[in-house]
Chains A and B, each alone.
Chain A
C-alpha cells in the first residue's frame, strides 16, 4: 500500500516543492498550536478560579434551610374561602442538623466522594478591646476540614493540627487579625447572637486570598463550638462534601436528596455566576481556536488549489495513461493528509512550547505567581483530530475537483 504508485506520486509532489509544502504545513501547525494554547490557558484560568472558589466553598453542602411556612394552615383546609391570619409567625422548631451521625453514615456509603466534614458555624462578634467586627466562627473537624478545603496550606502562622487539642485555641483570618490588632497568642473575645461571650487564644493565622473570608472568618475546634452553643455531640450546622469531579455533582444529589431531610445544595446552585463564567470562557476558547483552525483550513485549501492548477497537465497525463478519478483524488488527498499529520505533530510540540512560555509569565494577583496553564493530553489529542479533519475537508474539495479534470481538453492544447 505505502509503495503504491499513487503514494509515490504524492510523495514526489510533496518533495519537489518543499517550500510550498512547508507553508501549507505551517498553517496547520499554527492552527493546532493556537488551539492547544487557548484551551490550555482557558482551562488553567478555570481551574485557578475553581481552586480559589473552593478554598471557601464545598462542592456539595447539606444544611437546615429553615422551616417551611405553615403559618396559614386554615387556608389549606378551606381552599375556596379567603382565610386571613393576622400577624402570623413562622415558628422555627429545629435549628441545625440534629441527626448528623446518621447522615454521615449515609455519606460514607456514597461513591465518587473525596471527603466530607461537619461544621458548626456561628455568627459572632469578634472583640479585642474596643474593636468589634462581625463574622463567622467555624467549629470544624480539624482533619476533615483540611481534607475538604485544604486549609492547612493557607496557614501562614501556627500549626493547623494543633487546633484539635486546644479547645481554647482559635485560627483567625489575616485581615481580621489586622483589623483587630491580633498577634499570635493574643486573646480574642467572641460574642454570639444569644449573648454568650468567651475568650480564645490566637494559635494561628491563615490567608485564603479570598478577601471576604480573610476578614471575617475564624476557626475553632468543633467541640469547642458545641460547648459555646451548649448543644450535644451530634449537633452540626453544615455538612460539607468534596467530590472527585466538581462538575459532576448531580448524581450524588439525586442519590441522597430523598433520604436526607435537609437541604442538599451543589456549588452550582449557589454560585451560578461561577458556572456562567467558566462556561463562557470555554466557549470563547473554543470559538477562537476553531476560527484559527478554519483559517488554517482555508490556507490549505488555497495551496492545494494552487498545486492542482499548476499540475493540471500532469493530472491530464495521468488520466490519459489510465489513472481513474479516484486515483487522482487519492493522490492529492494523501498530500493533504500528510501535510495535516506533519503540521499537527509540529503543532502539538509548538503548542506545548507556547504554553510553557506563557505559563512562565509572572502574574502576582490573588495568590497566583504565574499565568495559569493546563497540559491535559485530551486537549492535545482533540487539537490534532480537529486539525486532521480540517485538512481532510480542505484537501478533499480541490482533490475532488482535480479528479473531474477532462484530459483531452487540457492535452489538446
Chain B
C-alpha cells in the first residue's frame, strides 16, 4: 500500500477575533484507495483541516505531501492546477456556480483540465449525474434544484477529473437515507475499483462505521 497523503505536524492559528490555535500539530498518513472518515464534535477543527488538506488554505505550519509532491510553500497558481487535476472537493455548503446548469457545473473542472475533448467531458458529466440520480435535472439551472440535489451535483463535479483524492466536508449532510446510501456506495466503489482515496468528514455514525478507518478529532488534535 502506497501513502498518497502525508500531513506532518500541521499547526494553524486564527488571529481574529483573538489569537487562537485551531489545529495543534496534526500528523497522519492516508493510503491510496483508502476510504477514511473524519469525525469529531462541531467546532473541533475538521473543516479547517480539510481546507489545509485541499491545498486551498496555505496559512499553516507543518508540511503537506500529496502524491509524493511537497505542497507546502508552493505558489497559489501551482496549487490551483494541482487541485484541478488531483483533488475533488465537496464543500460543507455545496458551492455551485448559480448562473450555470447542473451539467455545466459538473463539466467546468474538466474543461479547465482539458484532458478530454468537450464531447467526452459532456458524456462523462451526464454519466456522473445519472449515477447520482440527477439525469432529469442535468440541463436545469442549479438554483432551480433542491439543497439535496445541489449537493449531489457538487459530488458529481468533484468526481469529473478522476482525482486521486476526493475530500468531502459533510458531503451527505443534506441528504436523505437513500441518497446517503447511494453516495456511500459510490465512494466505496471508487475506492475499491479505481483506487481513488476518499476523506470524508461526517456526523453520520453509520456512514463512519462502514469506512475503512475513522480519525477522530477533539479540540484541534487527533485523538483516535
Asked if B57 lies at the interface with its beta carbon under 8 angstroms from chain A, I say: yes
- Taking CB atoms and an 8 Å cut-off, the chain A residues in 384-403 that contact chain B are none
- Taking CB atoms and an 8 Å cut-off, the chain B residues in 41-80 that contact chain A are 47, 51, 54, 56-57, 76-77, 80
Give the interface SS of chain B, mostly helix, strand, loop or mixed: helix
Residues from chain A with a CB closer than 8 A to the CB of B57 are 408
Interface size class of B (residues with CB under 8 A): 20 to 34
- Is the beta-carbon distance between B77 and A326 smaller than 8 angstroms? yes
- Is the beta-carbon distance between B76 and A325 smaller than 8 angstroms? yes
Instruction: Known contacts A12-B99, A325-B76; decide if A5 and B81 are in contact (CB<8 Å).
Output: no
**When chains A and B are docked, how far (Å) is the Cα of A313 from the Cα of B77?**
18
**When chains A and B are docked, how far (Å) is the Cα of A151 from the Cα of B77?**
73
- Is the beta-carbon distance between A322 and B95 smaller than 8 angstroms? no
- Name B51's contact: one of A8, A317, A325, A408 (CB within 8 Å): A408
**Count of A residues near B, CB < 8 Å?**
27
Residues from chain B with a CB closer than 8 A to the CB of A408 are 51, 56-57
- Name B81's contact: one of A16, A324, A412 (CB within 8 Å): A324
**When chains A and B are docked, how far (Å) is the Cα of A320 from the Cα of B169?**
14
Scoring B96, B111, B112 by chain A CB atoms within 10 A of each residue's CB, the highest score goes to: B112
**When chains A and B are docked, how far (Å) is the Cα of A229 from the Cα of B109?**
95
Asked if A3 lies at the interface with its beta carbon under 8 angstroms from chain B, I say: yes
Asked if B108 lies at the interface with its beta carbon under 8 angstroms from chain A, I say: yes
Residues from chain B with a CB closer than 8 A to the CB of A8 are 111
Residues from chain A with a CB closer than 8 A to the CB of B76 are 324-325
- Name A321's contact: one of B98, B99, B109 (CB within 8 Å): B109
Residues from chain B with a CB closer than 8 A to the CB of A324 are 76-77, 80-81
- Is the beta-carbon distance between B81 and A320 smaller than 8 angstroms? no
Nearest CB of B to A331, in Å: 11
Nearest CB of B to A369, in Å: 55
Residues from chain A with a CB closer than 8 A to the CB of B34 are none
Proximity bits, B106-148, A CB within 8 Å = 1, else 0: 0011011100001000000000000000000000000000000
Instruction: Known contacts A322-B85, A322-B109, A323-B112; decide if A411 and B80 are in contact (CB<8 Å).
Output: no
Residues from chain B with a CB closer than 8 A to the CB of A323 are 80, 84, 112
- Taking CB atoms and an 8 Å cut-off, the chain A residues in 320-355 that contact chain B are 320-327
Nearest CB of A to B213, in Å: 26
- Is the beta-carbon distance between B85 and A320 smaller than 8 angstroms? no
Instruction: Known contacts A322-B83, A322-B112, A411-B91; decide if A317 and B99 are in contact (CB<8 Å).
Output: no
Nearest CB of A to B12, in Å: 11
Asked if A407 lies at the interface with its beta carbon under 8 angstroms from chain B, I say: yes
Asked if B89 lies at the interface with its beta carbon under 8 angstroms from chain A, I say: yes
- Is the beta-carbon distance between A3 and B95 smaller than 8 angstroms? no
- Is the beta-carbon distance between B100 and A320 smaller than 8 angstroms? no
Taking CB as reference atom, which chain B residue is nearest A320? B56
Asked if B186 lies at the interface with its beta carbon under 8 angstroms from chain A, I say: no
Asked if B93 lies at the interface with its beta carbon under 8 angstroms from chain A, I say: yes
**When chains A and B are docked, how far (Å) is the Cα of A246 from the Cα of B6?**
79
Asked if B3 lies at the interface with its beta carbon under 8 angstroms from chain A, I say: no
Give the interface SS of chain A, mostly helix, strand, loop or mixed: helix
**When chains A and B are docked, how far (Å) is the Cα of A50 from the Cα of B89?**
72
Nearest CB of B to A328, in Å: 10
Residues from chain A with a CB closer than 8 A to the CB of B54 are 320
- Taking CB atoms and an 8 Å cut-off, the chain B residues in 87-103 that contact chain A are 89, 91, 93, 95-100
Instruction: Known contacts A5-B112, A322-B84; decide if A317 and B97 are in contact (CB<8 Å).
Output: yes
Residues from chain A with a CB closer than 8 A to the CB of B108 are 5, 9, 318, 321
Asked if A13 lies at the interface with its beta carbon under 8 angstroms from chain B, I say: yes
Nearest CB of A to B25, in Å: 20
**When chains A and B are docked, how far (Å) is the Cα of A260 from the Cα of B148?**
95
Asked if A319 lies at the interface with its beta carbon under 8 angstroms from chain B, I say: yes
Taking CB as reference atom, which chain B residue is nearest A319? B80
- Is the beta-carbon distance between B84 and A411 smaller than 8 angstroms? no
Taking CB as reference atom, which chain B residue is nearest A314? B97
Taking CB as reference atom, which chain A residue is nearest B57? A408
Asked if A413 lies at the interface with its beta carbon under 8 angstroms from chain B, I say: yes
- Taking CB atoms and an 8 Å cut-off, the chain A residues in 131-166 that contact chain B are none
**When chains A and B are docked, how far (Å) is the Cα of A190 from the Cα of B168?**
108
**When chains A and B are docked, how far (Å) is the Cα of A13 from the Cα of B100?**
10
Taking CB as reference atom, which chain A residue is nearest B113? A322
Task: Show the binding face of B for A, using Cβ within 8 Å.
Answer: 47, 51, 54, 56-57, 76-77, 80-85, 89, 91, 93, 95-100, 108-109, 111-113, 118, 157
The 10 closest A-B pairs by CB, nearest first: A322-B84, A5-B111, A324-B77, A408-B57, A322-B83, A321-B109, A16-B99, A408-B56, A324-B80, A317-B95
Q: Given A322-B80, A408-B51, A411-B51, output 6 extra A-B contacts at Cβ < 8 Å.
A: A8-B111, A320-B56, A320-B89, A321-B83, A322-B112, A326-B77
Q: Give 5 CB contacts A-B under 8 Å.
A: A313-B95, A320-B83, A321-B89, A322-B113, A324-B77
